[in-house]
Structures are given as C-alpha cells and as structure tokens.
Structure 1
C-alpha cells in the first residue's frame, strides 16, 4: 500500500465512525419519537463520543457538501406565502438588535462580576450566535480560550439539543415542512444545480454561512416562484440532517470533561441569561407581529445559523425568517464585536512571545 493512501484510509475510517455514531443516535431518538430526531439524536450521540475522544470532526470538504445539500433541502419550504410575510421582518430585525445587545451585556456582567472572569475572556464568551467568528477573534487576544470555547460551545449544544424539545412540548410549532412530493430526477437536478450555483456565488462574495445560505436562497427562489413544488428525497436529506448533528456534536473535540465540568456553573448562568432574554423577546415580538413565538425564539436564539435553520425547518417553522435573522446577527456581530472590544478595553492582542502557547 502506498504511503499516501494510509492517511486517506484513516480519514475515511474517521468519517465512517463519526457518521455511524451520529446515525445511531438519530435512529434511537427517532425510535422514541424525539422532536427533530435526525438532528437532536445525532448531536447528543456525537457530543458524548467527542468528549470521550471516540470521534473526529468531519473534513471541511465534506462539510461544504453537507451545507449545500441542507440549503437545497430547506429551500423547498419557502412558498409565495412566505414571501408575503417578509413585510413583517423590519420590526423583528430591530427587536433582534436590541435582544442581542441585551444578551451580550447580561452574559458579560454575569461572567465578569458573578464569576470573576477577566474583562477580555468574559466579553468574548458572551456574543451569541457567531461561534466561529467569535472564537477566531478571541484567539488574537489575551482571552482564556478554554473558557471562551466551553461557554460558547455549551450554549450551541443546549440550544440544538433542548430547543426542539421545548418548542414541541409548548406546541409553538407546526407539522414538519416535508409535505411536498419528493422530487424526481429532473427536479432533483434543477434543485441541486441551482443550489450549487447559489452556494458558489455566496461563497465568492464571502457572505456568512455562504454555502448553505446561497444554496438555500437559490432553492427558495425556485420554490417561491412556483417553478418547482417538490423536495429532495428522504434518502438524500435525512443523512444530511444527521451529518449536521455530527458537525455540531464534534464541536466538543479538544475539550475535556474535566474542563467542561469546572466551567459548568458559569456556562449555565450565561446560557440561562441569554436564553431567558431570547424567550422574553420572542414572546413580545411574536405577540406584537402575530408570528409564532417558537419561530421568533429560534430566530433570536443564540445558536448557530445552520442548526437553527434546520431546527425551524424540522419543526414546521419558517426557515427563511430564521435564516435572515441569523445572517443579520452574524454580520452585525462580526463588525460590532471588535469595535466594542476596543471600546471596553477587551481588544488587547496577544503578546508575540505567548504565541507558542496557543498550540499547546
């Protein structure tokens, strides 16, 4: 066997193990009628396996394909009625800006004053819903990355694992948006072709979540215009739901159970504050605009773009509404975080001599 084939085989084995664990969790969740089982079950199983160092994150190229397929699939939920609801979004977007500001402030104060964290670490652990960008920015500062990572990853995990259950129990949702007929080969080619083009365009423009949002936008345009009224077949979409669960679950890679337990109180307190504010704003915005409170909460929830859009889709909520709000938040936080960090003195860059420590 040539030497270059060994790494490929090892990578393929890692993918198979990770996806196998995620699939087992998804099937188990489905067998007990768990809400959004293909996502939630996969997240819970891979999170546990990741903490035990049994699984590895999926390769970037495979993740890219998954995001395109997810966007193409969720675009089928957009209808002409969805477009008519866009008129209600400006007020909701304004409320989102207030809600995010309140979430950051509340989490920061809790971590800073309640747990004695330093200013830089408390600040970068607080922005909700822009995990990758926040971690990247925090890595250039003197923030304690283990604390930042645990609080941020814990927040996403709880939302993806618990939010679907809570919304399902509350009844603030609709039947899953998978009632359209499954597409034939021609319709599949049209959906996937347009989704791929949209994904590449958005990625080239360097927009947040570009691959999935671009694919979603292109697929949504086909369905909202009435050109197509079909969804991708289950044999293609269900594995992508499971794969997204694996992507979220393996966020715990590199974190030890001991580190997480040591920071559990701080993580819970930060999450309770941000989630509580999200619920309060969701109820208020939903009541004032006549929108489902569950839908508004998923849009305002401090979770990841892809996971929250899929959660909305699986619970019969509007993924376009949810996606638009998460993209707006991502863009706003990407610009606002470094500015606010400088204003409050949390933008101190890491000293050059400490650089090797980041790799330990």
Structure 2
C-alpha cells in the first residue's frame, strides 16, 4: 500500500474516533478518540503511518496553539515555579526507582530493560542507548509508547472530576487569516532553527516560543480558528496511535502487563505529588498534574490547550523534565553496565 494512501487512511480512522469520542463531552476527546482508534487499528495489523513532514507540521500547530493559549498572568506566577520544579525532580527519582524495582523483581525484566522502561520520557534518547546493547529495545518501546497512550486516553477522563481550567489565554475574537499566516510562518521558522540546534521537541518548543513572544508583545490577540485546533488534535491522535504500527499482538502482550502496572504506579506517584504541591501554589491541580505528568510534551501540551490550562507552565516543566532525564539516563546506563560487568566477573 502506497505511503500516501496509508497516511490518508490513518487520518480518516483518527477523525472517526475523534469525532465519536468528542460527542461524549469528554475534555480532550478529539485527541483521545484519534489515538484510541488508530492504536487499535495498528495493533490489528493496519500499517498506520505519519510521515515526518506531516509530523513536523503537527508539531508546529501544537506549539502555535500552546503559544496562543499562554495565560496572561504567567509572568506573575513564575515565582511559584521553583516549588513545582523541585517537586518534579524528586518525583522523577521516585518514579524511576519504584518502577525499575517492580519491573525487575515482579516481572523479571533484566536490569537494563527495567530501568530504561521506567524513565518517563525522552524515548528517542532511550532507544539510542538501548540499541547499544542495554536492555530489550522492543519491550522498552512498547512500555514507553503504552505510557503515553494511557495518559492521553485517561487524563481527559480524570479531568471530568477536576475544576475547569481558568488560565486559557485565548480571546473570544478569532485571529484574522493574514496575521495567522504570518504567525504560523514565524513559528515554522523558529521551530526549524530549534530543531537544527538539536533542542528536544524543537518544532514544538520553537513554534511555541515564537507564538508566545508575538502574543505577549501584542502582535496578535485573537483565538485560533476552532477547525485548526480540531485538525491538530486529530493529527496528534493519529501520530500517537501510529507508534504501535509494526508491533505484533504477541509482542505487545509480552510487555503490556508490566507496562500497565508501571504506568499505574507512575500516575499514582504523579497524582500524589500534584496533590502535595497544590497546597503550596495557587494553581489548578489539573494544571499542576499536566506539568508533572510523565507524558510527552506534544500530547500533554495538546491536553493543556483542550482543558484551558496555562500552556507556558506545562511546557516549561516538560522541558525541565527532558533536561533532567538527559543527565539522569546516561548515569543509570553506566551503573547498569557496571553492574552487568561485575556479574560476569568470576
């Protein structure tokens, strides 16, 4: 099947799921529905795909949407961020230690697989290290993708029990098309520059930085067209679900149980930290949870838009998480290799 046809069918499947789930009134249902239907189709054998070019366009749209939804009082609340960033650092340590021990002792994963599967994020970096002989790459990718999928599916359901966000920076008046085109072009360029500089999630962060700067300096103040936001959610759902393509059901089931348990543990730890932090900062607990969540920047940023939370806060904490993991992951890999070498010595 030609890649263009596969891409078109992937998007159609995502659109059907997105609009079906959105009729249930679940916050973020557009993103959730697309991810669910495409993942089911991929695990059933459909060759779901999202070309890199289209993926980058989606990332620019996510960053643009996040920048357009930056809260007006973000700068006033930055003083509270050290508290949440400190909680994030401690949370990451607890997640990796607890999940690594559970996967190693309860599910009998080897040490490398257990700990690389436990890191909440930075999948490309983790897979690069796994390809050097640390852990089982197939099991690691299944658990990591499963974590993002579960968070995308269940975070909107959890949001039904939380207060509605009140930090949305979007105006009720729509941005005019000329201004939108200029902002989008600027976002695409800055995203390209960030990517060339090897920054994590370059297109998302670059486009968000550009849109945020343009908004805070008064270049634009209108809301994005709802159709653009909806199409972005459909595309992101398709992208998340397509990551299951090529995995057999047998491979998936082999790692799925351990992945489900570790994801549940991760969510419980994140929720406990979010609840604790909420006593010290004046922010909606849902926003704190999305900032501390172990999901991908693109997915959690899209959910932040859908739920009306401050996207600058969410993005800043996910960037901090990626930077922390960039330092922590190689250290753990060195420790794992050292332990394996010691076990082989007579």
TM-score (norm 2): 0.93
Native 8 Å contact 2:15 2:34 kept in 1: yes
Superposition RMSD in Å? 2.0
Instruction: Count residues in correspondence.
Output: 341
Displacement after TM superposition at 1:174 (Å)? 4.3
Native 8 Å contact 1:129 1:326 kept in 2: no
Q: 3-state DSSP class of the match of 1:236?
A: helix
Distance 1:202 1:348, change over 3 A: farther
User: Aligned equivalents of 1:265 and 1:253: distance in 2?
Assistant: 19
Displacement after TM superposition at 1:38 (Å)? 1.5
User: How do 1:299-318 residues align onto structure 2 when only pairs under 5 Å count?
Assistant: 299-318=291-310
Distance 1:346 1:309, change over 3 A: farther
Displacement after TM superposition at 1:178 (Å)? 4.9
User: Aligned equivalents of 1:24 and 1:279: distance in 2?
Assistant: 31
Q: 3-state DSSP class of the match of 1:80?
A: coil
Displacement after TM superposition at 1:325 (Å)? 0.8
Q: 3-state DSSP class of the match of 1:33?
A: coil
User: Aligned equivalents of 2:175 and 2:164: distance in 1?
Assistant: 29
Which of 214, 219, 222 is 1:227 aligned to? 219
User: Aligned equivalents of 1:237 and 1:17: distance in 2?
Assistant: 20
User: Aligned equivalents of 1:31 and 1:175: distance in 2?
Assistant: 24
Structure 1 runs not aligned, ≥5 long: 1-6, 350-360
1:166-188 alpha-carbon deviations (Å, 9 max, x no partner): 02223364487654322112221
Q: 3-state DSSP class of the match of 2:45?
A: coil
Native 8 Å contact 1:127 1:333 kept in 2: yes
User: Aligned equivalents of 2:192 and 2:18: distance in 1?
Assistant: 30
Find the counterpart in structure 1 of residue 73 from structure 2: 81
1:226-258 alpha-carbon deviations (Å, 9 max, x no partner): 331113222323212110111111111122222
Find the counterpart in structure 2 of residue 260 from structure 1: 252
Which of 66, 72, 94 is 2:64 aligned to? 72
Does residue 100 (structure 1) correspond to residue 89 (structure 2)? The answer is no
Does residue 59 (structure 1) correspond to residue 48 (structure 2)? The answer is no
User: Aligned equivalents of 2:222 and 2:171: distance in 1?
Assistant: 9
Does residue 158 (structure 1) correspond to residue 150 (structure 2)? The answer is yes
User: How do 1:2-151 residues align onto structure 2 when only pairs under 5 Å count?
Assistant: 10-151=2-143
Does residue 168 (structure 1) correspond to residue 164 (structure 2)? The answer is no
Distance 1:60 1:148, change over 3 A: same
Q: 3-state DSSP class of the match of 2:222?
A: coil
Native 8 Å contact 1:71 1:215 kept in 2: yes
Distance 1:60 1:284, change over 3 A: same
User: Aligned equivalents of 1:286 and 1:256: distance in 2?
Assistant: 42
Native 8 Å contact 2:14 2:238 kept in 1: yes
User: Aligned equivalents of 1:74 and 1:47: distance in 2?
Assistant: 25
Structure 2 runs not aligned, ≥5 long: 342-346
User: Aligned equivalents of 2:338 and 2:252: distance in 1?
Assistant: 24
Native 8 Å contact 1:177 1:313 kept in 2: no
Q: 3-state DSSP class of the match of 2:33?
A: helix
User: Aligned equivalents of 2:91 and 2:260: distance in 1?
Assistant: 19
Native 8 Å contact 2:134 2:337 kept in 1: no
Distance 1:346 1:110, change over 3 A: farther
Does residue 236 (structure 1) correspond to residue 241 (structure 2)? The answer is no
TM-score (norm 1): 0.89
User: Aligned equivalents of 2:330 and 2:339: distance in 1?
Assistant: 7
Displacement after TM superposition at 1:198 (Å)? 1.8
Native 8 Å contact 1:187 1:228 kept in 2: yes
Find the counterpart in structure 1 of residue 201 from structure 2: 209
1:250-280 alpha-carbon deviations (Å, 9 max, x no partner): 1111222222223332112211211111001
Find the counterpart in structure 2 of residue 245 from structure 1: 237
Q: 3-state DSSP class of the match of 1:252?
A: coil
